[in-house]
Chains A and B, each alone.
Chain A
Amino acid sequence: MEEPDAGAFAFTGDWRDYAPIAFTNLLLTIVTLGVYRFWATTRTRRYLWSRTRFIDEPLEWTGTGMELFIGFLLVLALFGIPLLFLQFGMQTLIFNGQARLAFSLAFLAFAMIFYLSGVARFRMLRYRLSRTWWHGIRGGSDEKGWAYGWSYVWRYVVAAFSLYLLIPWAMMSLWNDRWSAMSFGPFPFRAKAGPGAVFKRFLLFYLLPLALFVLLTIAGIGMREGETALDPAAAAMMGFLFLFIYAGLGVIALVFYAKFFRVAVGGMSLSGLHFHFRARSRDWLMLILGDIALVVLTLGIGAIFLSYRHWKFFITHLDATGEISLSELTQSTTAAPRQGEGLADAFDIGAI
């Protein structure tokens, strides 16, 4: 089936094809006061999936705007009202001098949101796989994500207690947990990447600000001892330095994430297929700089093309080797979720 010199994945879209979808989405979202957002997302995905070829057949997105909308309303009913109450209730409690109660409630709310954002990540993936079809077969998961939510909480708590040194481990093991619970047709995904490979880059990200901070402190003490007030030139220098640090940190974070993504996807397989992700740090940097340029130069309107760009980036650098037997790839028996990714939407997680 494999065409020579073509990867297993190919993106065949064209931004000029997509532009009418993007602009009408923007227009309809504005005039419906944002309600059309869900149908807009659906149209975008339908386009992107249909222009994503895997081996011999494009993917197909079958989610609907209505189910995303219903998911949104459900989450609003479940969490919006308590959260709203908490917001106003907090003020009232503090006004009444019940600060301790207010803060313990706030902590509780924070913990709940933390747990649910873990659950949301899981359910988002499950929903997307359950609406993704290829050769008339879909994906999904038998789990609902409640257990994953707990492992999300405890792993990040442990990572925090290790002075954040264990963050790569938390990220990687959560990625593996999440994907290992997913399946496509009868085949489970396997995700077995170890965190060791990304740890060095994480240390770079972790130690650089520390080193800079130490340097700056020494410089600051030197200045203090010299009893010189900051002259404009030095102030400009400082400003420039801060900007540099800020941008530099962003780049280092990107360098770490590029490696993380390569390793994480590289550890994944499905039946006889092994996945690879080929984007290097430079590719990620170009993507982000392109995003910024696009948004700035179009005064923000270009933002409607971001999801297109990100998907294209993802598919262009994704590859799979090995084989999958079509006759053994039978229909998924997982229960398909009935509504969309309302939770993820509420916590602003992942936007394609």
Chain B
Amino acid sequence: MTSAGPDERIWHYDGQDATRHHPRIDWHAEGFSLVWPGGTSGPHRWSDLVPQGNAGGRSVYGLRGQGGWRLVFAGLPPHDFAVHLPLPARYGRWIDRIGLWPAIGLFALIAAILLFVVLRAPAWVAPLIPRSWEDRLGDTMIGDFGGRLCETPESRAALEKLRRELGDAVPIRRIAIANIKMVNAVALPGGHIIIFRDLIEEAKSPDELAGVLAHEIGHVRNRDTMTALVRQLGLSVLLGGFNGQVGGTINGLLALSYGRDAEREADRYSIEALRAADISPLPTAAFFERMEKRSGGESIERAMSWMASHPVSAERKAAFEDSAVKGGHYKPALSAAEWKALVDACAHDKDVAPPPFDF
């Protein structure tokens, strides 16, 4: 049995009221107890002592299961007493166990693996998602596009012809023109391809439209939209630990639309489809060229336009140009009448909703 105190350098609060006691501490191998005029505490087991840290050169201990119980030493506790004490937590229990730098290394490794998986995995997770799910999701997302889809019997026939020519083997469920004033086309989940009205007005010929449409069909075939969705979901979960702003920023940077590989694949499909359908790829290349030149204008329009979601690189243009066969026997993608049906679809469709906002 060893003792220390009572003195000014050891004090105790019993958690019942705020009075400060200066106890004598008696201890042996099994445990310890406190005695002061008018009260005692203990005997307690060593293992019940909880280090509360060392603030300003004092050592503070609590007792497991007793909220306000405190034993405080000015400076360090007596040596024979201290040998029985657990160390205070510093970074957190797990990190203290393996050390700060090993922990940082380990966490960094895990974070890198997780990020890699979340960025890469969607490409092989997406194909595993049943088509029926994707279709249901796509239909819920799009519905009837708020009644903004332009359709006449003639335009439907023309689009159907393009679908047959360019993507007969791809599970496309709908190609439609939307009465929205943007130069763009998007592939949405569930095999929907939406062509925005101004793209048709911007295109000089059906061949240009065919190239762009084949590119979107390529996205549908490769299930890129699903991949992008899964990736975005994974990132939001992974970065949920950061507070809102940081996570959102990183997420936005990493989830940029489809990624360049997907774009290149879609281009490759487009080139192949055009070749198989005997449609010249040169107009599509010319369309890219014009889009690139046009990339001025209002910033909102720019953000919603073709350029924002399909940045045109010289390399992409060249790929289309190089695939042209000199003296090849190309035929127009659509007849003049069919093309006119597409151009006029929104004007001739009587019950289409007006464009939501004019840029």
Contacts and interface: CB of A to CB of B under 8 A. Distances in A.
Do A and B truly interact? yes
Interface of A: 12, 24, 27-28, 31-37, 39, 43, 46, 50-51, 56-58, 60, 62, 65, 76, 80, 84, 88, 91-92, 94-98, 133-138, 185, 326-331, 345, 348
A101 to B, nearest CB: 12
Contacts of B144: 96-97
A50 B55 contact: yes
Contact of A331 (B15, B56, B242): B15
A64 to B, nearest CB: 9
Top-10 shortest CB links A-B: A136-B13, A50-B55, A97-B146, A34-B241, A34-B242, A136-B68, A135-B18, A96-B143, A329-B18, A31-B107
Contacts of A136: 13-15, 18, 67-70
A51 to B, nearest CB: 7
Given A39-B91, A95-B142, A95-B146, A28 B239 contact: no
A92 B141 contact: yes
B56 A185 contact: no
Contacts of A95: 141-143, 145-146
B162 to A, nearest CB: 24
A327 B238 contact: no
Contacts of B103: 28
Given A133-B68, A136-B69, A33 B146 contact: no
Contacts of A57: 20
Interface stretch (B78-86, B243-251, B306-314, B325-333): B243-251
A62 B60 CA distance: 12
A137 B146 contact: no
Interface of B: 13-20, 52-53, 55-56, 60, 62, 67-70, 91-92, 95, 100, 103-104, 107-108, 111, 114-115, 140-148, 236, 238-244, 246-247, 353
Contacts, number: 128
- Most B CB within 10 A of own CB, among A91, A328, A331: A331
Contacts of B107: 28, 31-32, 36
A34 B239 contact: yes
Contact of A33 (B56, B70, B241, B353): B241
Contacts of B244: 348
A28 B17 contact: no
Given A135-B20, A329-B18, A51 B56 contact: yes
